[in-house]
């Protein structure tokens, strides 16, 4: 007779936990987007940054899809194209325009409204039903973000804040469309096909927006543009889309408020922007509210 005690069952990591981890990885990559945009704007125009990064990423996506011999998902083409319009063009152009007039650290906190707007679209078109407590936390977090934007700009909202709002709406709707697609197809394929379907727009627009002086861009500006092309526009979405599909759009979108801290840290280190204690306190307050929201029920 074996007297040894039975070993405890192995603990398995839940699908939601994996989704949250992948979503967090995507957020870390996205956190460098606004600072990199500020650097790239030293030489490149908002128009070229938007379409050039998409053109570069679409070439990488095409090479990957061909290497793996992936078949075109014809039935999902309309949704993939819509996701492309929102994420490949909408967010980049609006955020690039905003970065011409507001610091990246300011934009990082203002974009803290993303989880709330993403949850709204998830409820409207994503088939998710967050609880009342979840909505209370989301509204409280958004209110803090608006209060910060107004206070940081001398008790008024600027044109840059308006374009940041447009970029948030574009991104959040694009996230929901991508997240729904990622439930039945690999998340990395979602962004790849979205880039391919919008390439007939991005590549000609990038060529038309090219200026000879871009060839003389400083190394830092060139590296920033490449980061936007292959990090923010490509690799970040690999993790983010899979995370949304696995963990739920409303819940995983909440980790995006961590992006504020990533953006603040990079802005201070890379751009030398002065990040005040007040800015950090606002970011901490929003993160605390999101932590409460994570405990709320979200039915799918």
User: Per the structure, how many domains does the chain have?
Assistant: 1
Give a yes or no: residue 10 inside a domain. no
**Measuring CA to CA, which residue among 16, 287, 248, 298 is closest to residue 134?**
298
Tell me phi and psi for residue 260, to 5 degrees: -60, -45
Give a yes or no: residue 130 inside a domain. yes
**Measuring CA to CA, which residue among 225, 220, 187 is closest to residue 22?**
187
Between residues 54 and 268, the one the model is more confident about? 54
Q: How far is CA 95 from CA 57, 90, 168, 240, 259, in A?
A: 18, 9, 9, 19, 15
Tell me the mean pLDDT in the region 56-71.
Answer: 94
pLDDT level of residue 179 (50, 70, 90 thresholds): confident
- Domain of 271, in residue numbers: 15-299
Give a yes or no: residue 88 inside a domain. yes
Give a yes or no: residue 154 inside a domain. yes
DSSP string, 113-162: GHHHHHHHHHHHHS--EE-HHHHHHHHHHHHHHHHHHHHHTTSS--HHHH
**Measuring CA to CA, which residue among 97, 148, 142, 95 is closest to residue 117?**
142
| Residues 248/119, Cβ–Cβ less than 8 Å | no
Give a yes or no: residue 3 inside a domain. no
**Alpha-carbon distance 239 to 245, whole Å?**
10
Give a yes or no: residue 2 inside a domain. no
What pLDDT, on a 0 to 100 scale, did the predictor assign at position 295?
Answer: 63
**Measuring CA to CA, which residue among 235, 186, 173 is closest to residue 73?**
186
Between residues 260 and 25, the one the model is more confident about? 25
What pLDDT, on a 0 to 100 scale, did the predictor assign at position 243?
Answer: 82
3-state SS assignment for residue 37: helix
Q: How far is CA 159 from CA 48, 54, 126, in A?
A: 21, 25, 31
What pLDDT, on a 0 to 100 scale, did the predictor assign at position 215?
Answer: 93
Between residues 166 and 122, the one the model is more confident about? 166
- Give pTM, 2 decimals: 0.79
Cα–Cα–Cα angle for 165, 192, 41, rounded to 5 degrees:
45
Give a yes or no: residue 145 inside a domain. yes
Give a yes or no: residue 8 inside a domain. no
Least confident of 102-116, 162-176, 178-192: 102-116
Tell me the mean pLDDT in the region 243-259.
Answer: 75
What pLDDT, on a 0 to 100 scale, did the predictor assign at position 12?
Answer: 65
Cα–Cα–Cα angle for 258, 262, 13, rounded to 5 degrees:
45
Percent of the chain whose predicted confidence (pLDDT) is above 90: 35
**Alpha-carbon distance 300 to 296, whole Å?**
13
pLDDT tens readout for residues 83-105 = 999 999 999 899 889 888 888 87
């Amino acid at each position: 007779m074996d007297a040894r005690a039975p070993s405890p069952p192995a603990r398995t990591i839940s699908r939601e936990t994996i989704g949250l981890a992948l979503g967090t990885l995507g957020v870390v990559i996205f956190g460098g987007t606004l600072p990199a945009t500020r650097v790239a704007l030293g030489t490149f125009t908002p128009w070229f940054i938007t379409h050039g990064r998409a053109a570069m990423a679409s070439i990488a996506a095409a090479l990957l899809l061909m290497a793996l011999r992936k078949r075109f998902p014809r039935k999902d083409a309309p949704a993939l194209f819509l996701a492309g319009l929102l994420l490949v063009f909408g967010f980049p152009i609006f955020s690039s325009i905003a970065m011409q007039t507001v610091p990246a650290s300011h934009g990082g906190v203002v974009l803290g409204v993303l989880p709330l707007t993403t949850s709204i679209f998830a409820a409207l078109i994503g088939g998710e039903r967050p609880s009342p407590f979840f909505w209370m936390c989301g509204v409280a977090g958004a209110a803090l973000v608006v209060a910060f934007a107004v206070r940081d700009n001398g008790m008024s909202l600027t044109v840059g804040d308006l374009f940041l709002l447009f970029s948030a709406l574009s991104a959040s709707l694009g996230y929901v469309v991508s997240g729904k697609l990622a439930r039945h197809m690999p998340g990395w394929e979602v962004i790849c096909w979205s880039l391919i379907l919008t390439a007939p727009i991005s590549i000609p627009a990038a060529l038309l927006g090219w200026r000879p002086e871009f060839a003389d861009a400083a190394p830092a500006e060139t590296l920033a543009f490449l980061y936007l092309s292959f990090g923010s526009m490509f690799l970040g979405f690999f993790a983010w889309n899979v995370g949304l599909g696995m963990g739920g759009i409303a819940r995983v979108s909440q980790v995006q408020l961590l992006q504020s801290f990533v953006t603040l840290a990079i802005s201070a280190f890379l751009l030398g922007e002065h990040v005040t204690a007040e800015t950090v306190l606002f970011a901490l307050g929003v993160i605390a509210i999101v932590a409460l929201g994570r405990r709320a029920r979200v039915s799918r």
